[in-house]
Amino acid sequence: MIQAICLVALMIVVALRARSSWRKPAWWATAFGAIAVATYGILWATPAVMDGMLGGRNLLTLVRDAAAVAAVWFFHNAVAAQQRRPEKKLPAWGLGLAVLSFALPFLLISHPGPTSSAFVMDRLDQFPVWLFSSIYIFIVGALAARVIALLSSEKTVMTRFYVLGLSLMLVGSIIELMYLAATHFGPTNPDFRESFYYVAERPFFGGIFITVLGFLWVYAVRVFWKHLALWTLRIDARHEGGEYLARSLSTSSENGWSDRQLAVNSAVNIRDRLKIGTQALSRREHALFSGVEHLLSNRLDRTPR
């Protein structure tokens, strides 16, 4: 159920932002995240069905892991871009090498079929399986650690939310690396294999879920402020003339204003006109603007009249 909710939300974001944001790393992180989640099943297309379409050799596991690495890779670059630290961005060729580093061991696995939900667990006696899984988990953990380091200078609630999710991913990665090594190199029984495997999975996938929730929340907040800024700007533009809206948007872009700041600027203008009786609003617009005033009350109070 949680996977289905995440998949639907990610697909909606990918579709809505494709035209305007496909060049941005955040969009690619969302797209690859959607692909990774989709490998757990889409309606009638269960993992067994999808893997069967790929030849029934558990290639779906490789697709899922490659998509997951790409999602975290682009998420890292999205954070670096948001912080205006281009020197921290990871190159695209590096992603190719990362995927290749665990794809090659996968291709060396003896008898990878038939399709199995416990593909790794059932074949951990094979060295290529251990190597494939270990490299993949190490890369994800290393990327999570890099993003945590990038976010360490910020102290916002949302940043802490991200750090919590990424920290759980990092802890899960460490536990899973220990599990993979113990199971492959040491004497273990089937009960240990199964129980300890799920001990590692809980923090790892819990962290992914929290991180995805945070990403979706940030997107929802940005969409909200974008629409609110445009609404207040349109009301403001009624009094200023035809080119005011385009001119304000251009000024906002040149000065690097956020949508919230643009909304505040327009709301101040509207509020002042309402006080002197030079701005007319319909009953519905007046009710909406009262909500805007309440939402922006702290900033409006600090803005000179």
Higher pLDDT, 188 or 82: 82
How sure is the predictor about 137, in pLDDT bands with cuts at 50, 70 and 90? very high
pLDDT in tens, 190-210: 777 767 777 777 777 777 778
Whether 188 shows a pLDDT value over 80: the answer reads no
Biggest CA–CA distance in the chain, Å, is 83
Count Cα atoms within 13 angstroms, Cβ side, for 67.
17
User: Which pLDDT does position 305 carry in this prediction?
Assistant: 46
Instruction: Return d(Cα 54, Cα 165) in angstroms, integer.
Output: 32
How sure is the predictor about 105, in pLDDT bands with cuts at 50, 70 and 90? very high
Report residue 85 as tokens: 């630290």
Contact criterion met (CB below 8 Å) for 131 and 105: yes
Give the CA distances from residue 291 to residues 30, 173, 219, 272, in Å, rounded to whole numbers and listed in that order.
Answer: 32, 45, 21, 16
User: Which pLDDT does position 62 carry in this prediction?
Assistant: 94
Report residue 216 as tokens: 């979706």
Give the CA distances from residue 9 to residues 4, 113, 206, 215, in Å, rounded to whole numbers and listed in that order.
Answer: 9, 32, 17, 10
Whether 93 shows a pLDDT value over 90: the answer reads yes
Which residues are within 8 A (CB) of 178 and not within 5 positions of it... i.e. 6 or more apart? 200
**Single pTM value for the model:** 0.78
User: Which pLDDT does position 106 carry in this prediction?
Assistant: 95
User: Which pLDDT does position 119 carry in this prediction?
Assistant: 85
Whether 108 shows a pLDDT value over 70: the answer reads yes
Whether 8 shows a pLDDT value over 70: the answer reads no
Instruction: Return d(Cα 3, Cα 6) in angstroms, integer.
Output: 5
Residues above pLDDT 70, as percent of the chain: 91
Long-range contacts of 136-139 (CB under 8 A, 24+ apart): 136/65, 136/69, 136/102, 137/173, 137/176, 137/177, 137/180, 138/173, 138/177, 139/69, 139/98, 139/101, 139/102
3-state secondary structure of 22: coil
Mean pLDDT for the chain overall? 83
pLDDT in tens, 213-270: 777 777 778 788 888 888 888 888 887 766 777 777 777 777 777 788 888 888 888 8
Q: Which of 77-81, 159-163, 296-300 has the lowest mean pLDDT?
A: 296-300
User: Which pLDDT does position 242 carry in this prediction?
Assistant: 65
Instruction: Return d(Cα 204, Cα 138) in angstroms, integer.
Output: 12
Lookup result for tokens 């030079």 = 278
**Domain boundaries along the sequence of the chain:** 2-153, 224-302
Q: Which run of H or E residues covers position 238?
A: helix 190-240
Torsion on CA atoms 264, 269, 271, 273, rounded to nearest 10: -170
Closest alpha carbon to 139 in 100, 113, 192, 104: 100
Give the CA distances from residue 135 to residues 36, 118, 129, in Å, rounded to whole numbers and listed in that order.
Answer: 17, 18, 10
User: Which stretch, 23-32, 92-101, 225-234, has highest mean pLDDT?
Assistant: 92-101
Report residue 28 as tokens: 């690619």
Question: Mean per-residue pLDDT for 145-171?
Answer: 85
Contact criterion met (CB below 8 Å) for 25 and 78: yes
Q: Which run of H or E residues covers position 156?
A: none
User: Which pLDDT does position 247 carry in this prediction?
Assistant: 79
User: Which pLDDT does position 279 carry in this prediction?
Assistant: 80
Whether 299 shows a pLDDT value over 70: the answer reads no
